[in-house]
Amino acid sequence: MHLCHTVRTMNTLNRRSFLAVSSTGLLTLPAFSMPHLLGQPLKDPGTAGDNHRGPCVIASGNGLAATDKAMSLINKGMDPVDAVVAGVSLVEDDPNDMSVGFGGLPNERGVVQLDSSVMHGPTHKAGAVGALEDIRSAARVALDVLKKTDHVMIVGQGARDFALAQGFEPQNMLTDKARQAWLRWKANLSPNDDWLDDIQRDIKDPAGDLSLASTIPFTWGTINCSGLDSNGNLASVTTTSGLSYKIPGRVGDSPIVGAGMFCDNDIGAAGATGRGEAVIQNCGAFSVVQHMASGKSPTEACLAVLKRIASRTRQKRLLNARGQPNFNVMLYALRKDGAFGAAAMRGKRTFAVHDGKQNTLHTAPSLY
């Protein structure tokens, strides 16, 4: 199938034909046929992963199970969009991961609100949900938005109603572990309120002697996962419970196409974790893909966007004594030819990769 014919075909796809294409795999591009956009050749500077060729799945550091699951399904012929969603659903179902899905840390009122977006490379179609309550898998709901509606994003009560209509079962998403963390955060908000904080208590609970850092989890945690099959088709998904103890209704970058996740089947896919506001304000995932289109390797593309985020961070409360961002953002990139990379704003961070042969954690370079 020639590229021009593929593009015309994608433009005429309706909902039924999308589902047929997803299940049959008929809509494919020639493997590794990414054009050299802007007249620049592809560059591979030798960073680990940037020279890889072939099917690949990349995810954030909490995604080893996700990459393993997604690669297994891709090898069985499953469309990458279904495979990556199945992969991250394992993390969404894990109550011990307090940044995603069931067991995620709640907003300031003690309510878990989930965000997710997913994108299918061959059709360039996306689906997303924001501030979703009482539903276990935001990624699966976002995938249903992609497949079954003409919309891209559904939020709040509408997202919950949509999920229920699709057969998702409502449940209490707040685990006891997350509830205890929320109560401890609430108690330590102010020494002048009516809640006794750790220092004011006359009788300590079993965790009372632990430091605040260890007893009050606070996270921007998320999982991003992008997949590439042997035909060169891409997909990406990001899902999260968002910033812990956030203002109710706050939505970060995860459900925003082009911020927390983006996929272009001619170029590559990218995703983000960390401070969502910074990623949104710099169109994080979209920018990574654009840098790959201009000739940068996946790792170079991630670092370039992190430099932009750093240079555009100008609020004093978000800068350290050296004038550097005092928060973290991590970006992940998977190019159409199978090259992959990632980079963090600060410190040593890991990311998961299944290169078709082995499923391992890699250490990403950092800007600072």
Q: Are residues 75 and 116 in the same domain?
A: yes
117 is in which domain, residue-wise? 52-92+112-172+220-364
Q: Give the CA count within 13 Å in the CB-facing half-sphere of 118.
A: 28
Does a structural domain hold residue 283? yes
The residue annotated as part of the active site, out of 47, 123, 222, 238, is 222
pTM score over 0.85: no
Q: Are residues 210 and 227 in the same domain?
A: no
Which of residues 228 and 23 earns the better pLDDT score? 228
The number of folded domains in the chain is 2
Asked if 130 contacts 139 with a C-beta cutoff of 8 angstroms, the reply is: no
**Residue type for 200, please?**
Q
Does a structural domain hold residue 14? no
Q: Are residues 244 and 309 in the same domain?
A: yes
Q: Considering 215, 239, 268, which residue would you say is the last residue of a domain?
A: 215
Q: Are residues 231 and 284 in the same domain?
A: yes
Which helix (H) or strand (E) segment is 143 a member of?
helix 138-148
Could you give the 3-state DSSP secondary structure of residue 78?
coil
Q: 312: alpha, beta or left, given left = phi > 0 and alpha = psi -120 to 50?
A: alpha
Q: Are residues 166 and 64 in the same domain?
A: yes
Q: For 159-195, how does the pLDDT look when each residue is reduced to its tens digit (9 = 90+)?
A: 999 999 999 999 999 999 999 999 989 888 866 655 5
Does a structural domain hold residue 18? no
Helix axes 156-165, 138-148, angle to 10 degrees: 80
Residue 31's pLDDT is 37
Does a structural domain hold residue 8? no
Residue 26's pLDDT is 33
Q: Are residues 253 and 186 in the same domain?
A: no
- Quick check: is 222 catalytic? yes
Q: Are residues 124 and 66 in the same domain?
A: yes
Does a structural domain hold residue 9? no
Does a structural domain hold residue 7? no
Q: Are residues 181 and 61 in the same domain?
A: no
By the 10 Å C-beta count (0-12 exposed, 13-18 middle, 19+ buried), 214 is classed as: exposed
Q: Are residues 345 and 229 in the same domain?
A: yes
Q: Are residues 143 and 235 in the same domain?
A: yes
Instruction: Give the whole-angstrom CA distance, residue 295 versus residue 34.
Output: 11
Asked if 270 contacts 261 with a C-beta cutoff of 8 angstroms, the reply is: yes
Q: Residue ranges of the alpha helices (H) in 240-297?
A: 276-281, 284-293
Q: How many CB atoms lie within 10 A of CB 211?
A: 8
Q: Are residues 285 and 300 in the same domain?
A: yes
Average pLDDT, rounded, for the chain = 85
Q: Considering 185, 200, 215, which residue would you say is the last residue of a domain?
A: 215
Does a structural domain hold residue 188? yes
Q: Considering 215, 243, 272, which residue would you say is the last residue of a domain?
A: 215
Does a structural domain hold residue 157? yes
Residue 214's pLDDT is 45
Q: Are residues 195 and 262 in the same domain?
A: no
> In CATH, what number is assigned to the domain containing residue 136?
3.60.20.30
Phi, psi (rounded to 5 degrees) for 299: -65, -45
Q: For 230-270, how does the pLDDT look when each residue is reduced to its tens digit (9 = 90+)?
A: 999 999 999 999 999 999 999 999 999 999 999 999 999 99
